[in-house]
Amino acid sequence: MDRQEAVRRATELVEQMSVEELASQLRFDAEAIPRLDIPEYNWWNEGLHGVARAGSATVFPQAIGLGATFDEELLEQVGEAISVEARAKYNENEKHEDRDIYKGITLWSPNVNLFRDPRWGRGHETYGEDPVLIAKLGVSFIKGLQGEGEYLRTAACAKHFAVHSGPEEKRHFFDAKASLKEMWETYLPQFEACVKEGHVEAVMGAYNRTNGEACCAHSYLMDEVLRGQWGFEGHYVSDCWAVRDFHEQHKVTSRPEESVKLALERGCDLNCGCTYQKILNAYQEGLITKELLQKSAIRLFTTRFLLGMFDETEFDSIPYEVVECKEHLQLSQKAAQESIVLLKNNGILPLKKDKLKTIGVIGPNANSRAALIGNYHGTASRYTTVLEGIQDYVGDDVRVLYSQGCHLFLDQEEKLAREDDRISEAMTVAEHSDLVILCLGLDESLEGEEGDTGNAYASGDKKDLMLPPSQQRLLEIIAGMNVPFIVCVMTGSAMDLNLADAKAAAVLQVWYPGARGGKAIADILFGEVSPSGKLPVTLYHNLQGMPDFEDYSMKNRTYRFVEKQPLYPFGYGLNYADTTVISAKPDKDITYAQAKDTELSVVVEVANKGDVATQDVLQVYVHVDDKNEVPNPKLAAFARVALAAGEKKTVSVLIPNKAFSVVDEDGQSQFSGSKADIYVGFGQPDERTAQLTGKECIQITI
């Protein structure tokens, strides 16, 4: 069904509704209207990395891990798998007339905010710190969720529009200040791509204000940009209870009825929360009109018609058996393998099973299910922790010893015990092992959303980059023992890995790898698969020189603006092969001035000089000679490349015209430079990447 027909049917239906009926449809828990054959519908469902909070589902790696894959095709496949499972569950719930929360086919995903500061607790819900990476992966994920059939398979939602990335504890009253240059250079490009390229059906506003206006009632962002410049035709939903913040926290209104008026007039069609329960009060006071309610209701019912809720569709026959089916579990496994980033390897990896007698697996995340799944997760029917993955892989051939080592963040595991009551056991395991796999990090109880149950600091944000003290002590002790050890970092954000980098034989960033992520980690450790993930965020030495968390300027934040050498750079990741770029050249001779109107590709010859097959991520960066350009070369394009041992191949990578533009102080894209440098390699063209890999990018100037 095309949108025009859906709008026609929605308008015809909505025009039959009374004011009371209209009011009931603008809430996330929309009521039934029996006389019009409209069943109740709960709009709130989550699909960040699997259907969430509604029972069994395939649990894929957390979004930041999906970001580390740099794999657009994979993201579309993951989105499709999630939407198919959502439809299958929806079909069965409809049969049982179960229309509860988290049971619908409007998925409030993906989170395409930019991970600007490593302290932000929700950063692991995003695809990383670069707008091009986020945009490309976000668009692919949306296409997977929504499909390309006659009807939408599910409706995706790009959130949280738009300048939003902490602090969590202040989000309900915080005002994020961003210049027009920063907005259009950093915070808006990925949303623009989701709307104009991904045709996302919904956009969710953020809790905070941006430059003084509440994000769920923002004249510039919602009127001028989203619907005006970008031509967004879908519906706009508030973050949950964000409209209540208008009068209770932001003080931009004085009471709920005024908040209703402001939100609806700005185009916030759907309220996640309770404030739209005051719609009738506002109507009776003359603050809003029936026509205003109809406008939002038509948008919402347009989405429902596009989803085929009132028709028979091809999706009605999707069987329940697709939930956690073999194909989806294999896809989750592939995603986990591609997400793992090898940060350091002194030659110890890959491990050889026949050379080992005893492996020590130590750490609070070694046997943790919580460390597999991140937040906004579903429930898997089976989990494979790192410990279990290693045990399953080596079987009876190698003895595996285990110690938790310490509590995730408390000083002792047993309440009546002394501090570090698991340390001596960890030392014993290390002493009796040929090598140690040390599994450290966080989980959703330490980094996540404000108010999440069990969150250690309530806010969800990190105070610094250090591991919890209990883990830091464990790391220091293992590092001081005469046993080789490999660190597996299970976090969704940058941590202080200076000690691990200095002392460990190998370091892997494995994120929150999904319900059966332990198998993928074992496959990487033992060389069944070569690692191929790349960092979607910068891993800093420390926070020194970084602006205050509440400062939304990008100075010294992310690889595009960083002023000092990081520990591990954005785009970096090792493998077990020897991949290299032999040559790179433009597919045509053009000048910088012509780049605005002429598509340019780089033709790249790549090779694997190693003796094992691998995948790697070819990356293209651009830096324009212009006063308005960001300080460091910026990602322009990327392509995942598979290379057999000894193989050479030629790859063509298209550079979008926009990569040759810069953003001026008024937020306008300009092609005002004198020349542009193009860098091609398997990492970014910075000094630290060259140090770590021993390879330089190839530079082209136009």
Could you tell me how far CA 277 lies from the centroid of its own chain? 32
Name the pLDDT band for 450 (thresholds 50, 70, 90). confident
Average the pLDDT over 377-386 and give the result.
98
Nearest Cα residue to 404 out of 382, 387, 383, 384: 387
Token pair, residue 425, equals 């056991």
Please identify, among 537, 556, 590, the residue that sits at the C-terminal boundary of a domain: 537
570 is a domain residue? no
Which amino acid does the sequence have at 475? L
Is 239 among the catalytic positions?
Answer: yes
Give 302's DSSP letter: H
CATH number of the domain bearing residue 152? 3.20.20.300
Which amino acid does the sequence have at 522? A
* Alpha carbons 532 and 548: distance in angstroms, whole number: 34
Domain match, 275 and 146 both: yes
* Alpha carbons 505 and 457: distance in angstroms, whole number: 33
Residue 97 has pLDDT above 80, yes or no: yes
Question: Which residues fall within 8 angstroms of residue 291, CB to CB, at 6 or more apart?
Answer: none
Name the pLDDT band for 456 (thresholds 50, 70, 90). low
Domain match, 351 and 313 both: no
Domain match, 302 and 392 both: no
CATH number of the domain bearing residue 631? 2.60.40.10
pLDDT tens profile 277-319: 999 999 999 999 999 999 999 999 999 999 999 999 999 999 9
Residue 435 has pLDDT above 60, yes or no: yes
561 is a domain residue? no
pLDDT tens profile 248-268: 999 999 999 999 999 999 999
- Indicate the average pLDDT of the chain: 97
487 is a domain residue? yes
555 is a domain residue? no
554 is a domain residue? no
551 is a domain residue? no
pLDDT tens profile 189-228: 999 999 999 999 999 999 999 999 999 999 999 999 999 9
Residue 453 has pLDDT above 80, yes or no: no
213 forms bridges with which residues in the sheet?
210
557 is a domain residue? no
Domain match, 169 and 306 both: yes
Name the pLDDT band for 615 (thresholds 50, 70, 90). very high
Please identify, among 318, 349, 376, the residue that sits at the C-terminal boundary of a domain: 318
Domain match, 511 and 631 both: no
Residue 321 has pLDDT above 80, yes or no: yes
* Beta carbons of 698 and 654 less than 8 angstroms apart: no
Residue 51 has pLDDT above 60, yes or no: yes
Domain match, 250 and 162 both: yes
Domain match, 209 and 69 both: yes
Which of 71, 239, 245, 269 is the catalytic position?
239
Name the pLDDT band for 459 (thresholds 50, 70, 90). confident
Token pair, residue 431, equals 């002493």
Domain match, 392 and 434 both: yes
Domain match, 347 and 273 both: no
546 is a domain residue? no
Helix, strand, coil percentages (3-state) for the chain, rounded to 5, are 35, 20, 45
User: Helix 72-95 and helix 131-146: axis angle, to 10°?
Assistant: 40
Average the pLDDT over 663-685 and give the result.
97
Burial class (CB in 10 A: 0-12, 13-18, 19+), 453: exposed
Domain match, 505 and 424 both: yes
Token pair, residue 471, equals 């883990």
Provide the phi-psi class of 508: left if phi over 0, else alpha when psi is between -120 and 50, else beta: beta
Strand arrangement of the beta sheet that strand 506-509 belongs to: 341-345, 506-509, 485-490, 435-441, 358-362, 399-403
Nearest Cα residue to 160 out of 179, 134, 181, 132: 134
In this predicted structure, what is the pLDDT of residue 458? 56
Domain match, 394 and 456 both: yes
Number of structural domains in the chain: 3
Pairing between β-strand 157-161 and β-strand 676-681 as defined by DSSP bridges: unpaired
Please identify, among 482, 515, 537, the residue that sits at the C-terminal boundary of a domain: 537
Token pair, residue 203, equals 């956009």
Report percent pLDDT > 90 for the chain: 98
Buried/exposed code over 23-33 (b: 16+ C-beta within 10 A; e: otherwise): bbbbbbbbeeb
Name the pLDDT band for 457 (thresholds 50, 70, 90). low
pLDDT tens profile 627-636: 999 999 999 9
Helices and strands (H, E) in the chain, number of each type: 20, 23
CA dihedral 257, 259, 264, 270 (to 10 degrees): -100
Domain match, 264 and 393 both: no
CATH number of the domain bearing residue 350? 3.40.50.1700
Domain that residue 683 falls in: 579-701
Q: Up-side HSE of residue 228: CA atoms within 13 Å toward CB?
A: 9
Q: Three-state SS for 270?
A: strand
Average the pLDDT over 674-695 and give the result.
98
